[in-house]
Structure 1
Amino acid sequence: MKKVLFAINTLNNGGAEKVLLTLLRYLDPKKYEIHLLVVQYDKTVFVSEAIRVAFGEMFGIELVQNAAVCYNPLEAKTIRRMAKAYKVAHDKFTICAVGRVIPEKGFLRLTSICEHMVEDGRDFTLNIVGDGKEYDRLKEMVESHHLEKWEHLIGFQENPYPYIKNADLFVCSSLNEGYNLAISEAVILGVPVISTDCSGIKENLGNGKWGYIVENRKETLYHAISRCFDEPGFLEELKKKSEAGSIQDTYEGRLKKIESIIEGVVN
C-alpha cells in the first residue's frame, strides 16, 4: 500500500517540541527513531517550504529527497461570496485578526498593542474572531484593562469572511505558524495585511509582495500598525499589494498539484 504523509505543523519558535510529541504518539520510542516514521511514507507533503526545510534539518536527508510542498487550496469565488453573507459594523478604522485563541497566535500581545494605541488617542475597532484555550485569559485582559470599547472578542464564526472583508487592516500577530490560511483569505478579499515574520509567512505574502512583514516583536508590530493611522499612503500601498496577491495561485491549480503528487505515488 502506498502512503502519503501531510505535515502541517511548524518547527520554529518552540513548535519542534509539539511536533515531536505528536509523532511519538505513533511510535514506540524504545524501538524506533523519529525519522523512521517519516521514511515509511512514499511521499511527505508539506504545507510550506519553510516547514519542509525545518523537517529536513531535524529528521535527515532522506526526508528532503522524498518531499513536496503544496499550499492549501482556497476557493476564491466561494470566499468572496461568503464575505457578503451578513453585515459587520464599520463606523471607524477597523482591524481584524482571525485564528484559534491560543498562545501561538499572539493575541495577548496584540491586546497590549491595542492598549498602547488607546493611550495614543487613536479611535479604532479591533475584532478578534476565534475561540480557543486562551479565550478566557484574553477576555480577562480586555476587561481588566478596560478595552471593551475598542477590542471586541467575536468568538468562533463558521463564516468569518464578512469580518475580514469589512476591515481596513488584517493583522497576524503570531509567534509561529505553518501556513496561515486567514492571511491568504484576507489577500483574496483584497484587505491590507500586516504580519509578524514566522515560519511560512513569507510564502503567504510572496516575500512581502502582497503584504507587510515585520520582525516578530510587539514593538515592531505596534509601529507598523501605527503607520496605517499616521501615513495614509502606507495603507494605500498595502491595499495595492493585497489586491495584486488576490489574483495569484488558483484553487484549481493547487488542487491539481495535490492530485499530481498522489498520482505520482500511486503510479
Structure 2
Amino acid sequence: MVLKKKILIRIGSLRHGGAEKALINFLKNIPSDKYEIDLLINLYSGQYIKEVPSWVNLHYLLKGEMITTNRPHEIPVKAFRVLYQKMFSKFPGLLYKYILKNKKYDIEIGAIHGMYNDILTSPIKDSKKIIWIQNDIFSLKEYTPKVIREFFKFDKILVISNKLEEEMLKFAKNENEKQSIIKIFNPIDKNDTLEKANTPINDMPFTDSKHPTFVSVGTVYPQKGYDRLLHVHKRLLDEGFQHNLLIIGDGYDLENIQNLLNSLNLQKTAKMLGYKSNPYPYLDKADFYVMSSRHEGYPTIIAEALILKKPISATDISGIKDLLQNGKLGIITPNSEDGIYEGMKKFLTDKTLSDHYKNEIENTELPFVLEKSVQYLQQIIDEV
C-alpha cells in the first residue's frame, strides 16, 4: 500500500477571486487516493466553501461573512478578527496544536502570496514548502526587495504569468533559486464556465437599449480602476459614442464608485449590480469585456471571457499578454485612463473588430486547459 502524501494548504478565505477559484479547480480534479489534504482558511466564508471536495479536511480560524466595507459598527468585528489571526501568526505552535491537532505534513502550500510568512514560520521544519504567487507583488508597496527575497526560502515558487516569472528571476542569486521558480497557468474549468453562463437571468440591464454594453467583473477595490473606467465612459458619451457600462462586484470601494457614478450623472448608462455568485450570464449577454485594472496577478475573469468568446479590451497588467497572446485575442491598452479610452473607442468605431477577435478566439487553443494545469501542479507536488 502506497502512503498518501500529507499536505497542508493555506488561504485567507474561499470568497470569489482568481486564487480561490484556481485552488478549488485544483482540489476538484486531483486524485483523492494519492493525497491526504488539509485545507486551512482564516475565515470560513465564500461561495467556494460548498465546492471543497468532501475528502479534503477543512479547518478554519474564524467563521462569518467577509466584511468589505468600513462601517462604524463593523470595525470592532474586523479588529477582533485581525488580532485573533495575528495571535496565531505570532505563536504558530498554538495553531498547529489546537487547530491542526499536531498533525505532521510532508508539504505545506501557501495558495496565495499573502500566506508566505505563515508557511515559513511553520513549526514543521522538515516539510517541503511551496508558495503560489497569484498577484503582481512587484506593484505592491509592502513587497520590498527584502520581503521578496523571503520567497526564496520556499522549495518551489509558483508564478502565474511570464511577467511574474521575469520579475522573480531578477531577484534570484544562483541557479538553484532560478530553478525554484515555476510558471504555471491557473486551471480554468471551461465546461463549468459555459454551463454557468447558460443560467437564465431576469435582471440584465440595458436589454431594451440599441447601444452596445461593456461589462467588467471584479472586487471593487482601487486596484480595479473603476474610477477611471467611469471617467472614460463619461468622456466617450460626451463625444457622442453611445454605449452602456455594467460593473459587477462588491468591495470596500463600492460606495465611493457609486457616488462617483452619481456625481457624473451616469445613472442611465452605467449600472453597478454588486456581487453576483454567478456573473457569467451577464458577461455572456454583454457585447464587450473591459478591464481597467491598475494591477493584477493573473485575471481569471479574462480567461473566462475568452471561453465565452467575448471581445476584450484590457490594460497592460501582469498576465494579460499571456492570456491575450500579445494582442492576438484582444486589445491590450496602455495602463492609463487614455489607454482605456482608446481601447473602448476602437470597439465603438470599428464594427468589424468584434467579429475579428471572436474568430481569432474560436481558432486558437487556449493555454489554461484545466487538465494540463492540474497535471503539471500534481507533478510539482510529487517531485518536490
TM range (shorter): 0.7 to 0.9
Q: Is the CA contact (8 Å cut-off) linking 1:190 and 1:246 kept in structure 2?
A: no
C-alpha distance 35-127 of structure 1, shift in aligned 2 (>3 A): closer
Which residue of structure 2 lines up, in the alignment, with residue 80 of structure 1?
194
Partner residue of 1:5?
131
Q: Quick check: 1:204 aligned with 2:304? A: no
Match of 1:238? Answer: 357
**Cα deviation digits, residues 171-195 of structure 1 (max 9, x gap):** 1111111111011100011111111
- The corresponding residue for 1:25 is none
Q: Which residue of 2 is the match for residue 19 of structure 1?
A: 143
Question: Normalization by structure 1: what TM-score?
Answer: 0.87
Q: Distance in 2 between matches of 1:224 and 1:82?
A: 28
| More contact order relative to length (CA 8 Å, sep ≥ 6) | 1
Match of 1:39 in 2: 152
Report the secondary structure of 1:127's partner residue. Answer: strand
* Alpha-carbon contact 1:187-1:245 (below 8 Å) kept: no
1:211-256 residue CA offsets vs partner (Å, 9 max, x unmatched)? 1111112112212211212111122222223333475442111111
What's the % identity of the aligned pairs?
Answer: 27
Do the aligned partners of 2:212 and 2:287 also contact (CA within 8 Å) in 1? yes
- SS of 2:142's partner is helix
Asked if residue 215 in structure 1 is aligned to residue 338 in structure 2, the reply is: no
Counterparts of 2:149 and 2:315, CA distance in 1: 34
Task: Answer with 1 or 2: which has the greater Rg.
Answer: 2
Shift of 1:134: 1.3
CA shift digits 1:134-162 (9 cap, x unpaired): 11110000001110111110111111111
Residue 120 of structure 1 and its aligned partner are, at CA, apart by 2.0
**Are residues 1:98 and 2:212 paired?**
no
Q: Deviations over 1:102-153 (max 9, x none)?
A: 1111111000011012212333221111111211110000001110111110
Q: Give the length in aligned residue pairs.
A: 252
Alignment counterpart, residue 50 of structure 1, candidates 163, 169, 185: 163
TM-score under structure 2 length normalisation: 0.62
1:58 shift after superposition: 3.8
1:135 is aligned to 254
Does residue 115 in structure 1 map to residue 234 in structure 2? yes
CA RMSD of aligned residues (A): 2.0
Residue 99 (structure 1) shift: 0.9
- Mapping of 1:158-237 within 5 angstroms? 158-237=277-356
Distance 1:39 1:121, change over 3 A: closer
The runs of 5 or more residues in structure 2 that have no matched partner are 1-126
Point out where structure 1 has 5 or more consecutive residues left out of the alignment: 22-32
